[in-house]
């Protein structure tokens, strides 16, 4: 039995991928597609929401907020119209699993969105997708057209008193538009910059109306939950983390790609058993979880299980699902400089902590890179990181220093060894 088969016993999201024709709705229907929608429209909206709540599905975009609670908040809001948004921007470096789903099983995403719209009383939905995803955009538009033609979208869906339609909107490559309110601003035709919150989108989103926003992977879980039941979904994974997770595995690993894994698998099994380990027998220097905004951890921590609670106990998160392997050839400080350069380029500049904090952090990292840093630089680096994480206006600035925090804890010698006067002890952050 191959490593992939041994660890992919329970398949929820990718069972049809590369087995059906993604550009044929008949192919999807013949594989059991839209049966969940047919079942959903025979249920009361509250029953659909209750099933999602009972499944313990958590958002797969990074924050991990319970999906059913978001749905219930919108359902109970007596303000109309309400809007549904799929965040398919996927701008986090190292992530490409949503792209894989959209290219290989687009109707699964549409079906999940339609079920959610029925449950919350929505008539309009958007898929906000990054403009660079040219092929997924084409496939999605074609899938939407076919779904309308078969009566799964549009007026009187499945001959019920339920109408809903979806529009594809593409962004212009801005990382910040992955943030929910920057995305909403962009959808409204404004500059993609975040808003003050609260209120949150479930209360005041698009055009200040109730809006539910989830990513591609989250919506794609909904058909399985409705068709097979919440208990079947909870039977996969761990007590605190139900279902499966798509992992975008990249970097210095033999078998890069998208893998669907069950919660409870260890990070070491993902890297070595599924990914085949590091080419050339080299050692792992560190692994980044979630993408550029995620933590950098040493190989000694790879025995941790993929589980929300287990990772949280170690102040870690899997974020949106990226696992980036970095081998011993690479320098920690240089990796950090590349990460902070990315955030400097992508910062919208709206708030001072992010705009100026990133610039100052980069300046200090260059000093560490040239072995000219001082103990005060080390203190300032920690201070700037703390200020950004606590006061930045949105998630970009708050998460940008995550790699710094974790490397200062797990790779302290990389800093202390470059200070002009060696021997400074760096305490764990």
Query: pLDDT tens, position by position, for the chain (429 residues)?
Result: 334 445 556 799 999 999 999 999 999 999 999 999 999 999 999 999 999 999 999 999 877 899 999 999 999 999 999 999 999 999 999 999 999 999 999 999 999 999 999 999 999 999 999 999 999 999 999 999 999 999 999 999 999 999 999 999 999 889 999 999 999 999 999 999 999 889 999 999 999 999 999 999 999 999 999 999 999 999 999 999 999 999 999 999 999 999 999 999 999 999 999 999 999 999 999 999 999 999 999 999 999 999 999 999 999 999 999 999 999 999 999 999 999 999 999 999 999 999 999 999 999 999 999 999 999 999 999 999 999 999 999 999 999 999 999 999 999 999 999 998 654 455 544
257 membership: H or E segment, kind and range = strand 257-262
Q: Is 194 left (phi over 0), alpha (psi -120 to 50) or beta?
A: beta
Which of helix, strand or coil describes residue 128?
A: strand
Instruction: Indicate the CATH number for domain 3-234.
Output: 3.40.50.11540
Instruction: Indicate the CATH number for domain 244-327.
Output: 3.10.20.600
Which pLDDT belongs to residue 238? 95
Q: pTM of the predicted model, to two decimals?
A: 0.94
Which pLDDT belongs to residue 266? 97
3-state helix, strand and coil shares in percent for the chain, rounded to the nearest 5: 45, 15, 40
If we measure between CA atoms, which residue out of 73, 115, 112 comes closest to residue 201? Answer: 73
Which pLDDT belongs to residue 127? 98
If we measure between CA atoms, which residue out of 259, 331, 326 comes closest to residue 294? Answer: 326
Residue 101 contacts residue 251 (beta carbons within 8 Å): no
Which pLDDT belongs to residue 421? 66
If we measure between CA atoms, which residue out of 199, 175, 208, 171 comes closest to residue 186? Answer: 171
Which pLDDT belongs to residue 370? 93
Residue 15, Cβ density class (10 Å: 0-12 exposed, 13-18 middle, ≥19 buried): middle
Which pLDDT belongs to residue 425? 52
Intervals of CATH 3.40.50.11540 along the chain: 3-234
From CA 277, how far away is CA 165, in angstroms rounded? 45
Which pLDDT belongs to residue 10? 77
Instruction: Indicate the CATH number for domain 332-416.
Output: 1.20.1440.230
Residue 284 contacts residue 258 (beta carbons within 8 Å): no
| Encoded tokens for 72 | 């219930």
Intervals of CATH 3.10.20.600 along the chain: 244-327
Q: How many C-beta atoms lie closer than 10 Å to residue 302's C-beta?
A: 18
Which pLDDT belongs to residue 4? 47
Intervals of CATH 1.20.1440.230 along the chain: 332-416
Q: How many C-beta atoms lie closer than 10 Å to residue 205's C-beta?
A: 26
Which pLDDT belongs to residue 420? 80
């Amino acid at each position: 039995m191959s490593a992939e088969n041994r660890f992919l016993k329970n398949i929820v999201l990718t069972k049809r991928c590369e087995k059906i024709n993604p550009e044929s709705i008949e192919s999807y229907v013949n594989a059991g597609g839209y049966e969940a929608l047919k079942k959903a429209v025979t249920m009361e909206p509250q029953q659909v929401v209750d099933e999602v709540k009972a499944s313990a599905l958590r958002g797969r975009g990074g924050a991990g907020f319970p999906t059913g609670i978001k749905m219930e908040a919108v359902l109970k809001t007596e303000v109309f119209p309400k809007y549904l948004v799929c965040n398919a921007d996927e701008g986090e470096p190292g992530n490409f699993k949503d792209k894989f789903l959209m290219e290989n099983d687009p109707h699964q995403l549409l079906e999940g969105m339609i079920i959610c719209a029925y449950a919350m009383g929505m008539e309009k939905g958007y898929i906000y997708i990054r403009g660079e995803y040219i092929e997924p955009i084409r496939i999605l538009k074609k899938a939407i057209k076919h779904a309308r033609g078969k009566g799964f979208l549009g007026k009187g869906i499945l001959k019920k008193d339920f109408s809903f339609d979806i529009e594809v909107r593409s962004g212009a490559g801005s990382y910040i538009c992955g943030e929910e309110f920057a995305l909403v601003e962009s959808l409204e035709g404004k500059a993609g910059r975040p808003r003050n919150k609260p209120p949150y989108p479930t209360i005041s989103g698009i055009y200040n109306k109730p809006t539910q926003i989830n990513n591609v992977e989250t919506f794609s879980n909904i058909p399985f939950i409705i068709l097979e039941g919440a208990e079947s979904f909870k039977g996969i994974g761990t007590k605190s983390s139900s279902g499966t997770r798509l992992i975008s595995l990249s970097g210095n690993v033999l078998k890069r790609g998208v893998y669907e894994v069950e919660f409870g698998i260890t990070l070491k099994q993902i890297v070595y058993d599924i990914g085949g380990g590091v080419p050339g027998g080299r050692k792992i220097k560190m692994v980044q979880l979630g993408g550029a905004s995620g933590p950098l951890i040493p190989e000694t921590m790879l025995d941790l299980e993929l589980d929300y609670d287990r990772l949280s106990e170690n102040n870690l998160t899997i974020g949106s699902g990226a696992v980036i392997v970095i081998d011993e050839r690479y320098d920690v400080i240089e990796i950090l400089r590349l990460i902070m350069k990315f955030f400097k380029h992508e910062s919208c500049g709206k708030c001072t902590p992010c705009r100026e904090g990133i610039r100052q952090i980069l300046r200090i990292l260059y000093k560490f890179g040239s072995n000219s840093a001082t103990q005060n630089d080390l203190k300032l680096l920690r201070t700037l990181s703390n200020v950004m994480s606590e006061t930045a206006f949105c998630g970009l600035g708050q998460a940008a220093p995550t790699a710094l925090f974790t490397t200062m804890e797990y790779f302290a010698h990389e800093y202390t060894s470059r200070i002009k006067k060696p021997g400074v002890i760096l305490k764990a952050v």
